[in-house]
Amino acid sequence: MKFRALASIVAALALCGAQAAAVEPDGTLPLNYRPAPDSDEGGLWMMADTLEKNMQASPLLVRDPALNAYVKGVMCKLVPDRCRTLRIYILDIPYFNAAMAPNGSMQIWTGLLLRTRNEAQLAFVLGHEISHYTLRHTIAEWRRARSTSGTMAFLTIATAGLAGLAYFAALDSLMSFSRDEERAADMHGAQIAADAGYDPTQDATLWREISAEETSRPKRDSEYSFTRTHPTTAERLTTMEKNAESLKTGRANWMVGQDACRRAMQPFRSQWLEEDLSLGNYEGSVTLLNTMIADEPASGELRYYLAEAYRRRNADGDSAKAIAAYREAVATGNAPPAVYRGLGIAEMKLGDKITARDAFEKYLAALPDASDRTMVEYYLTHL
């Protein structure tokens, strides 16, 4: 009875304030589209509006103005005519994922931003999601879900006590598409990004890197994976590479935007890397960090987190790998002070008390007000 009453409320709300708009002859959405309020699509839009309000109030929402302005700015370069009507919400969730609802709201998880190493890669992801919307895949999928148990699922997610990742994972599970729809979004999204001047080769580059990371991760991650409903990796890469060659014939100078993307993400990267390590999927973290280090070999931050991944994984040979990575981080001259704490722990584990003591003392000297100072001083009393 609770859900029947709620469904009636949703249907009633759908009658408020919207005007019907015809879909374009090619099946795509016109600008400022809003479905007829008394249609099934109007009702689904109202459900999406409710879910969007929940997203706006979520503690996972990243509200930083500069980061939001940067990501929204990339979207506006792709579809300037839709810039006012499409909304992007960045959620602090450490998985590579993005999803678009039929009402024009898009969620992007911070794990995706961590892995897009330049603006072109981000543009191709955004173009892919926008294409699902403009090609009306979103409403087609929600209609398919509604024909089964989907309508109750929407209402349950919108009103139940789910929180955090559980909420957004449940919502994302209702916004997956068929493989044919994914193929169409790949092609259409690549065209949008290329038309905006972004280097088409970055599409396949990103996908190759994400696939390599996911291959190394435990299968339990697949439920939160952007790739779970997409065409197979081999097929997709082949198609992307052929498409990139075709698109590249139309322009000589392509935009990559590595520096702009790095500046936008840098203030958050340490937090996002720590969150990635907290998942405990160290194989994937090692793959990710090695990919990032290939771009920034002089980054002490990245080498520190690679060392942390080895130390926390603690497989055979990882202690030596961790110590080597810590020392490489120190050698850059720009590693975070925590590099000395990690080095001290790793050396202490191997029994090198002199080196461990030296590392711990350097850590406390660099961070005299460290929150874990008591723990480090305890280590020192036993060296």
Phi, psi of 69 (to 5 degrees): -65, -35
Buried b (16+ CB within 10 A) or exposed e, 236-266: bbebbbebbeebeeeeeeebbbeebbeebbe
Read off the pTM. Answer: 0.86
Domain spanning 267-381 has what CATH number? 1.25.40.10
User: When comparing pLDDT for 205 and 5, which is higher?
Assistant: 205
User: When comparing pLDDT for 24 and 51, which is higher?
Assistant: 51
Close Cβ partners of 353 (under 8 Å, ≥ 6 residues apart): 383
Cα distances (angstroms) measured from residue 243 to each of 77, 271, 307, 317:
21, 36, 38, 42
Nearest Cα to 111, choosing from 274, 312, 306, 287? 274
**Per-residue pLDDT averaged across 330-336, rounded?**
98
Domain ranges of the chain: 2-248, 267-381
pLDDT at 236: 82
Paired strand residues for 91? 61, 109
Crossing angle of helices 137-146/179-195, nearest 10°? 160
Crossing angle of helices 137-146/40-57, nearest 10°? 100
Cα distances (angstroms) measured from residue 71 to each of 89, 267, 312:
10, 14, 32
Q: Which span out of 5-14, 48-57, 220-229, 255-264 was modeled with the highest average pLDDT?
A: 255-264
Tens-digit pLDDT profile for residues 100-147:
888 899 999 999 999 999 999 999 999 999 999 999 887 777 777 666
Close Cβ partners of 163 (under 8 Å, ≥ 6 residues apart): none
Q: Judge whether residue 18 has pLDDT over 70.
A: no
Nearest Cα to 109, choosing from 282, 202, 225? 225
The type of residue at 135 is: L
Cα distances (angstroms) measured from residue 189 to each of 120, 122, 125, 340:
12, 11, 8, 45
Alpha helices by DSSP H, listed for 147-232, are 150-159, 164-173, 179-195, 201-216
**Per-residue pLDDT averaged across 244-260, rounded?**
90
The type of residue at 344 is: G
Cα distances (angstroms) measured from residue 132 to each of 30, 73, 198:
14, 19, 19
The residue count of the chain comes to 383
pLDDT at 289: 98
Q: For residue 82, what is the DSSP state? A: G
Q: Judge whether residue 226 has pLDDT over 60.
A: no
